Amino acid sequence: MAGQTPKSLAAIANLKRMSEDLTDYEVHIEIIDLQKDPQLAKVDQIVAVPTLVRRLPPPMRKIIGDLSNEEKVLIGLNIRDRGTR
């Protein structure tokens, strides 16, 4: 995120909610505010905001947006395959 914008706050809220449902997984969430640490944008190659970066397991995934589309988020995180429940 980059500052407390409505999009970012929505994303955080959505993320928190989803992670509560993912009881089978060990979830670590790190929230980085680029306004506070701008140099990290380069390190993590962040362009769009908000971006959810899935570091582990590889491959790395960048899920951008306010995460309002839960289905897409889970597919993007490889937690749910397309076509499965």
Residue 3 structure tokens:
């500052």
Q: Minimum CB separation from another protein for residue 15, in Å?
A: 11
The footprint of another protein (CB under 8 A) covers: 2-3, 5, 7, 10-11, 34-35, 38-39, 41-42, 45-51, 59-69, 72-73, 75-76
Cα 24 → chain centroid: 18
Alpha-carbon separation of residue 83 from 3, 75, 78, 80 (angstroms): 36, 10, 12, 8
End-to-end Cα distance, the chain: 30
Q: Which is nearer to another protein, 4 or 25 (CB)?
A: 4
Q: Which is nearer to another protein, 29 or 47 (CB)?
A: 47
Q: Minimum CB separation from another protein for residue 39, in Å?
A: 6
